[in-house]
Chains A and B, each alone.
Chain A
Amino acid sequence: MAAKRTAPPPPPPTPNPIPNRRALASGAGSASPSKRMLAFHFLRALSRISSATPVACRTRTIRRAAYFSMARAASPRRSWSRALLRQVRVRRAVRSRRAVLMRRRVVSAAPAPPLGVRSISAGQITSAPLAGAPPPRQAGEPARADALRRLVPGGGEMEYCSLLEETADYVRCLRAQVQLMQGLVDLFSGQ
């Protein structure tokens, strides 16, 4: 079995994880070349996490890193990846604003105005439509499409046709991300 000679073999007698590693790195079995990009972005985010974060919010950070790296690896032509990246930026801005407001509130003891936050509920990246604007509904579009619009990031403002395309791409990328994470979990827990 040809080993991937990128690192010196570790001295402790660990079982050889080479097949998993090759599957991870080469993205074998799929036509999309972006599996490598996915792995790259996600692993880079992971390595940055392990040095910095406290344990308590690590799950949340990993989940955010997963969606974020998914959006980065996807082509920026895709609306959903742009919408995801926008959400991350909004959340970061909101968090820093909120931190500033909290500090001011402590200082002045005055009630802070409520922030119009797009709250990310546990387990889902939602795409809330613009305040007050109903989602555009085409003739012949089934009622189920509203639920789909909520699930796919950025889906609130798309046409029906683009929604279908974006959904297909989103599902493909989601599946690749799940496979990647599953491979990593297997790799780490198979030691």
Chain B
Amino acid sequence: MSGRRGRISDDEINELISKLQALLPESSRRRNASRSSASKLLKETCSYIKSLHREVDDLSDRLSGLMSTMDSDSPQAEIIRSLLR
């Protein structure tokens, strides 16, 4: 595992990190300086991913509730079918 650091330069790592930073939501970006430490950025990324997971769970919950009220003749099913065609 040693010697890897030499092949992958610091610049590349910094570039990747700044790309990650660009992905994070706007609010956290404003709070950080443009050269925030890598570990802080990773922490932001972790919490962002966790919040996205929570949103997926919440949305699938709502979707399942909505779908249970749907039958195959309703316009929503028709929309789904038309989108899949």
Binding site for B on A (CB under 8 A): 4, 6-7, 10, 12, 14, 17, 21, 24-25, 39-40, 43-44, 46-47, 49-51, 55, 58-59, 61-63, 66-67, 122-125, 136-140, 142-145, 147-148, 151-152, 159-161, 164-165, 167-168, 170-172, 174-175, 177-178, 181-182, 184-185, 187-189, 191
Contacts and interface: CB of A to CB of B under 8 A. Distances in A.
A59 B64 contact: yes
Contacts, number: 161
Contacts of A189: 62, 66
Contacts of B43: 144, 147
Interface of B: 1-2, 4-5, 8, 12-13, 16-17, 19-20, 23-24, 37-39, 42-43, 45-46, 48-50, 52-57, 59-64, 66-68, 70, 72, 75-85
Contacts of B2: 139
Nearest to A144: B42
Given A58-B68, A66-B56, A182-B59, A145 B42 contact: yes
Contact of A62 (B20, B23, B45, B60): B60
